[in-house]
Amino acid sequence: MRGRSALETMFFGPAALTRAVLPQMRERKTGSIVQISSVGGLITAPGFGAYCAAKHALEALSEALASEVAPFGIRVLIVEPGAFRTTYLAPRFAAFRPWTRTRRRSDPRVTTLPNQRLPLGADAVASMRGKLAQVAADIDANESVAVATAL
């Protein structure tokens, strides 16, 4: 799946579904929205630009939405699975996957977790921590230039 079709399916589809259920959740003053993203919502890989862009967009929308709907008793959880044994990604991800394969798990208790993000799989946790450490290092390395641009 490439380009516009990736965004239509993985961003605009969940956005439309969310928009459809929000009025009922607001009326009841409760609800949970669970967005299925991916480790690709934070991390990119060569050849996965459209996929990662769609997942990045879904995560940004979900983060903003979480703040908007919290006063109505609605929470948003972003689930970020790492690599799973599927026929969709397995052949293309093989070169970028130094981790071991994990098994898919489903647990209805995820809607009661206190945080906004739920990475799934050791690879997702390690990759996301690595990405965040790199972002922090980039900010630290460029801090003097960054703060010098302040008004």
Which residues are annotated as catalytic?
Answer: 51
Q: Kindly state the helix (H) or strand (E) to which residue 66 belongs, with its residue range.
A: helix 49-69
The residue among 52, 111, 123 whose CA lies nearest residue 85 is 123
What's the DSSP call for residue 87?
T
Alpha-carbon distance values, 113 to 22, 63, 109, 110 (Å): 20, 16, 7, 5
Q: Are 17 and 62 in contact (CB under 8 A)?
A: no
Q: Are 65 and 22 in contact (CB under 8 A)?
A: no
The residue among 95, 76, 62 whose CA lies nearest residue 33 is 76
Please name the residue that has the structure tokens 């903003």: 64
Q: Are 59 and 42 in contact (CB under 8 A)?
A: yes
